[in-house]
Amino acid sequence: MKRNKIIAGNWKMNKLYEEGLQLAEDIVQGLSGEVITRSGHIPLVILAPPVYLLRDVALLTQWYKDIDVAAQNAAAWPAGAFTGEVSAAMIGSAGASYVIIGHSERRAWFGEDDAILKEKVIQVISAGLHVIFCVGEVLQERMDCRHFDVVRKQLQDGLFHLEKNQTGHVIVAYEPVWAIGTGHNATPDQAQEMHRFIRDCLTEKYNEEIASTIPILYGGSCKPDNAAGIFAMPDVDGGLIGGASLNAADFIAVVKSI
Ligand code: PGA
């Protein structure tokens, strides 16, 4: 079964308004000509700017079938008195189709546990959007050889409440926390080993056909000089790129390396 290749750029809390627009414009410019149609030869490119830029970036990319837009977070509730929160439906109404849920920075700094992430996944899917669900172990868990158990539990508790017919809206991102923003990427073999394990978990929970269609992205210090090796692995379907997505030339180089 052929899976979509996807490169997503997670800008995190970076770029002021003009800078963000410029970055999006430079990426679109750099990729246009290659991304006008979904040829299948070019990955789907997803830009995840800070939420205040979503609408502008969505408008800027709206004619490019190969470029879509994601939010980095969404509320665990549909609407109402939740000061400061942004709902999945609002994100959709701004023109985004994807939401990153469960990023390790959300888990670590904002206390998002599996119970809240489960609610967020429900909100994203209910709003008709796609979820990019992040999993990954911290260094100590890998050193203790608990990384497979940790990732399995994150999937079970945050994602596996979804029914089979909702899995078409799911992308999984494996992001070992020890590799995020540290310059220490997982080796292609380490990435492949965990991606294969995640696919096996998806097979166990759903079935082989569904597992074979869900894209699994790698994230963690992915850069132009290491991306090709990681993306060449059979169960790695693309990347979730942080630091290297803040520079158009680097991001485009990563896109083209797949
Ligand atoms: P990084 O971040 O590429 O800067 O390591 C990846 C991520 O956090 O999504």
Q: Which of 103, 130, 147, 195 is catalytic?
A: 103
pLDDT at 221 over 80: yes
73, 100, 180: which to mutate for ligand 1, most atoms within 8 A of CB? 180
List the structure tokens of 254. Answer: 């990563």
Determine the 3-state secondary structure of 207 from DSSP: coil
Determine the 3-state secondary structure of 6 from DSSP: strand
- pLDDT tens per residue across span 14-71: 999 999 999 999 999 998 866 544 455 568 999 999 999 999 999 999 988 899 999 9
Protein residue closest via CA to atom 7 of ligand 1: 242
* Reported confidence tier of residue 1, pLDDT bands at 50, 70, 90: low
- pLDDT tens per residue across span 177-190: 999 988 888 999 99
CA distance to 9, 55, 61, 208, per residue, from 93 (Å): 21, 9, 15, 34
In this prediction, residues 88-115 reach a mean pLDDT of: 97
For residue 40, the model assigns a pLDDT of 53
Protein residue closest via CA to atom 6 of ligand 1: 242
CA–CA distance, 125 with 76 (Å, rounded to integer): 11
In this prediction, residues 205-231 reach a mean pLDDT of: 96
Longest C-alpha distance within the chain, in Å?
Answer: 48
In this prediction, residues 77-87 reach a mean pLDDT of: 98
Which residues have C-beta within 8 Å of that of residue 34, sequence separation ≥ 6?
42, 66
List the structure tokens of 86. Answer: 């942004």
In the annotation, is 175 catalytic?
yes
In the annotation, is 147 catalytic?
no
The rounded radius of gyration (Å) of the Cα atoms in the chain is 17
CA distance to 28, 33, 99, 182, 255, per residue, from 37 (Å): 13, 9, 23, 35, 16
Q: Judge contact between 246 and 11, C-beta under 8 A.
A: yes
Protein residue closest via CA to atom 1 of ligand 1: 242
Q: Does the beta carbon of 175 sit less than 6 angstroms from any atom of ligand 1?
A: yes
Protein residue closest via CA to atom 9 of ligand 1: 242
Q: Which of 105, 137, 175, 195 is catalytic?
A: 175
Q: Judge contact between 49 and 87, C-beta under 8 A.
A: no
List the structure tokens of 241. Answer: 């790129």
More confident residue, 32 or 158: 158
Q: Does the beta carbon of 242 sit less than 6 angstroms from any atom of ligand 1?
A: yes
Q: How far is ligand 1, taken at its centre, from the CA of residue 220, in Å? A: 5
CA–CA distance, 227 with 68 (Å, rounded to integer): 21
pLDDT at 147 over 60: yes
Q: Does the beta carbon of 102 sit less than 6 angstroms from any atom of ligand 1?
A: no
Question: How close are the terminal C-alpha atoms of the chain, in Å?
Answer: 18
CA–CA distance, 89 with 27 (Å, rounded to integer): 26
Q: Judge contact between 104 and 134, C-beta under 8 A.
A: yes
- Ligand 1 atom closest to residue 221's alpha carbon, by position in its atom list: 5
pLDDT at 72 over 90: yes
